[in-house]
């Protein structure tokens, strides 16, 4: 009898885990304190000019404003091997330790958004406890980011039929003194 109960519990656990993983497509990324990334490689993309995703914001997104502030990448798309050629991403910053702003930036033919201000911009504010939705597309030589009901457009570089997803990444010259937890749910392509 004990063996049958044990077998039943194991089978039941496998069924529950399988069912819950089929319905829960959220992936949690944890960028550890002092690191820039999780070291998860972005998924390769072929013939993809549009991605869609949702993300959840939590209190780990707050941090003291560094001397050289930059954008923290939430999700993005790169066309080609090097994201400096043609890529766009949704990022965020924490201003004055209390205000979270979401924005967009792109690299165009080797030119960074720091070199050309037209390649970056603030879109809106965000806050913990909410789920946000975004699409990033490439159309007619432009990157278009649709964040909730707001739209941002920026130039795009050379168009290639392949590339990869860009995963969460902390700043340029700075890192956090705590873990940054990012939950993302990609929309099926």
C-alpha separations of 70 from 11, 65, 81 in Å? 49, 9, 23
In a domain, 45, yes or no: yes
In a domain, 92, yes or no: yes
In a domain, 7, yes or no: no
In a domain, 21, yes or no: no
| Number of domains making up the chain | 1
Domain that holds residue 87: 27-186
In a domain, 78, yes or no: yes
What is the CATH number for 147?
Answer: 2.60.120.200
CA distance linking residue 147 with residue 133, whole number of Å: 6
- pLDDT tens across the length of the chain (189 residues): 565 544 443 333 333 333 334 447 999 999 999 999 998 888 999 999 999 999 999 999 999 999 888 899 999 999 987 777 899 999 999 999 999 999 999 999 989 998 999 999 999 999 999 999 999 999 999 999 999 999 999 999 888 889 999 999 998 889 999 999 999 999 975
In a domain, 84, yes or no: yes
pTM for the model = 0.84
Residue 68 has a pLDDT of 85
């Amino acid at each position: 009898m004990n063996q049958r109960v044990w077998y039943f519990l194991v089978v039941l656990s496998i069924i529950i885990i399988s069912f819950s993983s089929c319905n829960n497509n959220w992936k949690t990324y944890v960028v550890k304190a002092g690191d820039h990334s999780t070291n998860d490689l972005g998924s390769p993309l072929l013939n993809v000019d549009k991605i869609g995703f949702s993300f959840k914001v939590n209190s780990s997104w707050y941090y003291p404003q560094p001397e050289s502030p930059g954008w923290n990448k939430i999700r993005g798309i790169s066309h080609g091997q090097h994201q400096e050629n043609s890529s766009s991403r949704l990022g965020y910053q924490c201003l004055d330790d209390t205000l979270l702003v979401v924005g967009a930036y792109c690299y165009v033919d080797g030119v960074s958004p720091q070199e050309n201000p037209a390649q970056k911009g603030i879109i809106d504010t965000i806050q913990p406890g909410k789920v946000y939705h975004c699409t990033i597309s490439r159309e007619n030589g432009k990157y278009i980011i649709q964040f909730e009901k707001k739209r941002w457009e920026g130039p795009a570089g050379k168009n290639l039929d392949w590339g990869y997803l860009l995963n969460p990444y902390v700043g340029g010259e700075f890192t956090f003194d705590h873990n940054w937890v990012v939950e993302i749910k990609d929309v099926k392509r």
